[in-house]
């Protein structure tokens, strides 16, 4: 049996946030911000030649691939050279086969390293 508890103070903070509406306001602000980030990220990806698997209706992730790079494992290696941590697409597939797709978190796309990676995913090389 697993029991998870929080401190009494933390429970009171959460209760207060739920009762006074501040949690709802916080999530609405977050949803709005992520929506803007998603739109900006999709625009950047399209402009730089990336392909999205499907255009998300919400959330914070987008599945993408670069047509010049066949392996998400290669993309992960290129990203590491720019100080970015990505998970290769095969980690999200039941068959564990290599995939060109990676999952990007749009919340980080304003970071200069992320933008640099999107502009030149392979450091000027094709895979």
Q: pLDDT digit string (tens) for 73-110? A: 999 999 998 889 998 888 988 887 889 999 999 999 99
Q: pLDDT digit string (tens) for 39-63? A: 999 999 999 999 999 999 889 999 9
pLDDT for 2:
65
pLDDT for 82:
87
**Rounded-to-integer distance, Cα 117 and Cα 112, Å:** 9
pLDDT for 126:
45
The pTM assigned to this predicted structure is: 0.79
Q: Which of 2, 1, 37 lies closest to 110 in space, CA to CA?
A: 37
């Amino acid at each position: 049996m697993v029991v998870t508890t929080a401190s009494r103070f933390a429970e009171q903070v959460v209760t207060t946030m739920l009762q006074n509406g501040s949690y709802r306001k916080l999530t609405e602000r977050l949803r709005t911000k992520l929506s803007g980030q998603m739109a900006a990220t999709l625009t950047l990806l399209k402009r730089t030649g990336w392909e999205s698997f499907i255009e998300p209706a919400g959330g914070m992730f987008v599945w993408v691939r670069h047509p010049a790079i066949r392996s998400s494992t290669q993309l992960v290696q290129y990203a590491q050279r720019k100080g970015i941590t990505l998970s290769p697409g095969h980690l999200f597939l039941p068959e564990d086969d290599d995939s060109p797709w990676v999952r990007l978190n749009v919340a980080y796309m304003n970071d200069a390293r992320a933008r640099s990676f999107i502009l030149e995913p392979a450091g000027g090389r094709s895979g």
